[in-house]
């Protein structure tokens, strides 16, 4: 004899299926969000990947002023805005020597800092003969803004930004 589920078993099976599909869809959400990058962001990310090794070999914490100690071991979301308002994102971790590690396209959920800038600044840095210096100058000149994520980091970086603008 063939098994035929009753209506309550069918409803439970349908609910279980919906729950499983919902959970599976939620798990791939961040990966889908990263593919929403504008076309120029893919090129920028490729250039940024090439920049990282040069930057890491030449970074000198003393060139970053008062921000240097505060950038150590931070997890960063970088948001770059183009002239038309579209945004490209990348994320990375700064190690204790202020080297860039774990570079990925898109944002990270565990970020502690957000750096924002415009595409012209990123293009200037990546096209520079000395991209490490150009990055450091963009930080100290305010062309790259750093804001903390979370209450303590937000307050800390608000104070640092005010002090940096005074000096």
Q: Would you give the DSSP letter of residue 85?
A: S
Same domain for 71 and 149, yes or no, is: yes
Same domain for 42 and 65, yes or no, is: yes
Q: Per residue in 78-95, pLDDT tens?
A: 999 999 999 999 999 999
Question: Which residues have CB under 8 Å from 31's CB, separation 6+?
Answer: none
Q: Per residue in 43-52, pLDDT tens?
A: 999 988 988 8
Same domain for 27 and 81, yes or no, is: no
Tokens of 69: 């100690």
Same domain for 142 and 93, yes or no, is: yes
Same domain for 4 and 77, yes or no, is: no
In terms of pTM, does the model score above 0.85?
no
Same domain for 44 and 122, yes or no, is: yes
Same domain for 29 and 47, yes or no, is: no
The enclosing domain of 160 has a CATH number of: 3.30.1050
126 touches 48 (CB < 8 A): yes
107 touches 77 (CB < 8 A): yes
Same domain for 44 and 16, yes or no, is: no
Total count of domains within the chain: 2
Instruction: Locate all alpha helices (DSSP H) within 98-150, ordered by sequence.
Output: 119-126, 131-141
Same domain for 151 and 161, yes or no, is: yes
Enclosing domain of residue 112? 36-166
Predicted pLDDT of residue 89? 96
Same domain for 25 and 56, yes or no, is: no
Same domain for 115 and 42, yes or no, is: yes
User: Residue 114 region, left (φ>0) first, then alpha (ψ -120 to 50), else beta?
Assistant: beta
Mean pLDDT of the chain: 78
Sheet hosting strand 75-81, strand order edge to edge? 100-105, 87-94, 75-81, 113-118, 145-148
Query: In this model, does residue 17 exceed pLDDT 70?
Result: no
Same domain for 53 and 105, yes or no, is: yes
């Amino acid at each position: 004899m063939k098994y035929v589920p009753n209506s309550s078993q069918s409803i439970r099976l349908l609910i279980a299926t919906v729950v499983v599909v919902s959970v599976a869809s939620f798990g791939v959400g961040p990966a889908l969000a990263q593919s929403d990058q504008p076309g120029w962001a893919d090129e920028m990310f490729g250039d940024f990947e090439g920049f990282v090794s040069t930057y890491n070999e030449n970074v000198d914490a003393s060139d970053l002023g008062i921000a240097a100690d505060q950038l150590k071991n931070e997890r960063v979301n970088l948001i770059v805005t183009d002239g038309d308002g579209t945004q490209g994102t990348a994320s990375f971790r700064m190690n204790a020597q202020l080297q860039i590690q774990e570079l990925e396209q898109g944002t990270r959920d565990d970020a502690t800092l957000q750096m924002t800038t415009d595409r012209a600044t990123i293009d200037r840095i990546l096209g520079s003969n000395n991209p490490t210096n150009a990055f450091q100058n963009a930080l100290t000149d305010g062309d790259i803004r750093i804001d903390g994520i979370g209450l303590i980091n937000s307050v800390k970086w608000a104070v640092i930004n005010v002090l940096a603008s005074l000096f």
